[in-house]
Structure formats: C-alpha cells, structure tokens
Amino acid sequence: MEKDKRPDPDSLLVSLEEEGRGKLTVFLGAAAGVGKTYAMLEAARDRLAEGVDVVVGWVETHGRAETAALLEG
C-alpha cells in the first residue's frame, strides 16, 4: 500500500498559527464625499510603507485629483 502523501494536519495548524491572523478594516461614512476612499488609500499607503503587501482592486475617484494622486506609486 502506498504511503499517504497528504500533509500532517497538526503541522499545518502550527504553520498557520505562526503566520498570525489577518486584519480587516472597514471604512464607514454616513454620506457620499466624506472621505472614505481617501482615508482608505492613505491607510493603504501607510501599510505599504511598513512593508505590508497592499493590493487595490478598484477605486472610484469620482474625478477627485487628490484621491487619484494617492493611487500613484
């Protein structure tokens, strides 16, 4: 009979614990134009400066140059 090639579940759990947990931040605003996107992009730039891998999927700038500028490298 062939040896089971699946990873050891206990080893997988240990490696997950070593990686740590993720973090979710939700940006809420009571109305349009209160700065949710701007605040999110500023926070993303801060995380990027700390060496955290940041990915932006989609940003609607609503034509605001200041918001669009935060998307630049």
DSSP string, 54-73: --------TT-HHHHHHT--
Answer whether 45's CB lies under 8 Å from 30's CB.
no
Neighbours of 39 (CB within 10 A): 14
Domain residue limits at 63? 28-73
Classify each residue of 47-56 as buried b or exposed e, where b means 16 or more C-beta atoms within 10 Å of its C-beta: eeeeeeeeee
pLDDT band at residue 73, thresholds of 50, 70 and 90? low
In a domain, 33, yes or no: yes
Check residue 16 and give its pLDDT. 79
Q: How confident is residue 24, by pLDDT bands cut at 50, 70 and 90?
A: confident
Per-residue pLDDT tens digits for 29-66: 999 899 999 999 999 999 999 998 888 999 999 999 99
pTM for the whole structure: 0.66
Q: Please indicate, yes or no, if residue 22 is contained in any of the structural domains.
A: no
Do the beta carbons of residue 56 and residue 44 sit within 8 Å? yes
pLDDT number for residue 22: 75
* 39 lies in some domain: yes
